Amino acid sequence: MSNLQRRDFMVTGLAATTAALAGAARAAAQEPSGGPIRGKEGASILGPTNPSREAQSRDRLAPPVTDHGTLPNLKFSFADTHNRLQPGGWARQTTHREMPVATDLAIVNMRLKAGAIREMHWHKETEWGFVVKGSMRVTAVDDQGRAFQDDITEGNIWNFPTGIPHSLQALGGDGCEFLLLFDDGDFNEDETFLLTDWLAHTPREALAKNFGVPEEAFAKIPKEELYIFPADVPGPLEKDRVTGAGPVPKSYTHRLMDQKPVETKGGRVRIVDSSVFPATTAISAALVEVEPGGMRELHWHPNSDELQYYLEGRSRMTVYASESSAGTFDYQAGDVGYVPRNMPHYIENTGDSLLRYIEVWKSPWFSDVSLRQWLAFTPYELVRAHLGIDRSVLAPIQVHKTPVVPA
Ligand code: MN
Ligand code: MN
């Protein structure tokens, strides 16, 4: 080997060592999640990797040892949905199409700029709404011609039963953003019955005959649907109020934030079903707040699938699906979670700030079975024969529900 060759070899060798070190550093940097490694199991990723996504699903990448078997996907982020942009705002949805397990419930996330209108419409599904930010006006007319209008703000809800025509409009400030829940996973926000679309596809002479006026009265009807469109911020509701055939028998809105929560050391829960909001015919929900380290206790729902929407914070949920199958999923703000009926689960705050999310069920009443109550209210010797736990484990468990347990 000539000196020149030797020098080349040494430089190449040094370069190779440097490259290897850089590679290791890069691998570490690319796996802020810690990579698919759990104790002595697993190994680093050699091929392509998506560090930010992997960090968001730490418990999928390196699952707890208790996870086993095959579960359906129980997480979908609104960040991955198609967003329909309109002059007045936007709308995106997570349905059975995005998340095949979601057969019972679908969710829409919608934003309206100040004054913007989600046009007058109706649909087959029941609509349950939750104001995420801002304030808005909702209107409806029922099958008896009774009218409803109300202005609502952040954290409050509405419910329009199947077929009841309604509208949504942002008030002042920065407008509003809200969630719409539907009692059918196949719901499609793009397939609702729209006032403008209907009348654009009705012969003018039929419209004229219907209202007993000349056809020219309908000259300005849009040729295409408006869906979400800009408009002026409306004036005070008291000036615009219409009563029609009288007030609706049950208010279509509910002040959830005025409701006293079930408070525990680990957080608080506001449950809204037909017992406190009689207009709710198909959907019930809970607004859950879990302090850092706290947990929504181990439980299941005998009456419905559960859909979750995460408003703030970080969490993980393990779902047990019988036959030794269990899977753990991580969530953060903007994610949707789903749990099939009767499958037990917990939701743990894994962040260092408040975890806030809503649980929604396709049922007019709230129902959950608590593992703690089940065990505490079964003869002790029977429980001990199964689990060998001491009586003291079950002694503090109370007869009233404590949905959130502390750290
Ligand atoms: Mn609607
Ligand atoms: Mn639940």
In the prediction, which pLDDT does 2 show?
A: 47
- CA angle 102/160/338 to nearest 5° reads 15
Q: With 80 as the cut, is the pLDDT of residue 15 above it?
A: no
Ligand nearest to the CA of 361: 2
Helix (H), strand (E) counts: the chain: 9, 27
In the prediction, which pLDDT does 34 show?
A: 78
Q: In Å, how far are 31, 39, 58, 61, 305 from 34, measured between CA atoms? A: 5, 11, 8, 9, 33
Q: With 90 as the cut, is the pLDDT of residue 170 above it?
A: yes
| Distance of CA 123 from the midpoint of ligand 1 (Å) | 6
Confidence of residue 11 (pLDDT cuts 50, 70, 90): very low
* pLDDT tens digits for range 75-94: 999 999 999 999 999 999 99
| Distance of CA 359 from the midpoint of ligand 2 (Å) | 7
State the number of CA atoms in the 13 A half-sphere of 111 facing the CB.
Answer: 10
| Distance of CA 272 from the midpoint of ligand 1 (Å) | 20
Q: Has domain 82-252 been given CATH number 2.60.120.10?
A: yes
* DSSP letter, residue 240: H
The rounded distance, in Å, linking the Cα atoms of 309 and 328 is 17
Residue type for position 266 = G
Confidence of residue 14 (pLDDT cuts 50, 70, 90): very low
The rounded distance, in Å, linking the Cα atoms of 189 and 123 is 9
* pLDDT tens digits for range 261-281: 999 999 999 999 999 999 998
Q: With 90 as the cut, is the pLDDT of residue 257 above it?
A: yes
Residue of 291, 297, 306, 359 with catalytic role: 359
Residue 336 structure tokens: 């949707």
Q: With 80 as the cut, is the pLDDT of residue 160 above it?
A: yes
Residue 158, burial from CB neighbour count under 10 angstroms (0-12, 13-18, 19+): buried
| Distance of CA 399 from the midpoint of ligand 1 (Å) | 39
What is the residue-wise DSSP string for 95-126?
Answer: -TTTSTT-SS-EEEEEEE-TT-EEEEEE-SS-
Element (DSSP H or E) covering residue 141: strand 127-141
Ligand nearest to the CA of 341: 2
In the prediction, which pLDDT does 404 show?
A: 93
Residue 233, burial from CB neighbour count under 10 angstroms (0-12, 13-18, 19+): middle
CATH architecture of 256-405: Sandwich (2.60)
* pLDDT tens digits for range 26-61: 444 445 567 999 999 999 999 999 999 999 999 999
| Distance of CA 204 from the midpoint of ligand 1 (Å) | 26
In the prediction, which pLDDT does 6 show?
A: 47
First and final C-alpha spacing in the chain: 67
Q: With 80 as the cut, is the pLDDT of residue 12 above it?
A: no
In the prediction, which pLDDT does 290 show?
A: 98
Percent of all residues in the chain with a pLDDT value above 70, rounded to a whole number: 92
Residues having C-beta closer than 5 Å to ion ligand 1: 127
Chain region(s) in the chain for CATH 2.60.120.10: 82-252, 256-405
| Distance of CA 32 from the midpoint of ligand 1 (Å) | 42
Residues having C-beta closer than 5 Å to ion ligand 2: 306
| Distance of CA 252 from the midpoint of ligand 2 (Å) | 25
Ligand nearest to the CA of 269: 2
pTM: 0.91
- Please name which of 75, 81, 103, 111 lies closest in space to residue 94, comparing C-alpha atoms: 81
Ligand nearest to the CA of 164: 1
Residue 2 structure tokens: 């000539």
Ligand nearest to the CA of 252: 1
* CB of 394 closer than 8 Å to CB of 382: no
Per the annotation, the verdict on 381 as an active-site residue is no
| Distance of CA 150 from the midpoint of ligand 2 (Å) | 30
Confidence of residue 407 (pLDDT cuts 50, 70, 90): confident
* pLDDT tens digits for range 296-321: 999 999 999 999 999 999 999 999 99
How does the average pLDDT of the chain come out, rounded? 93
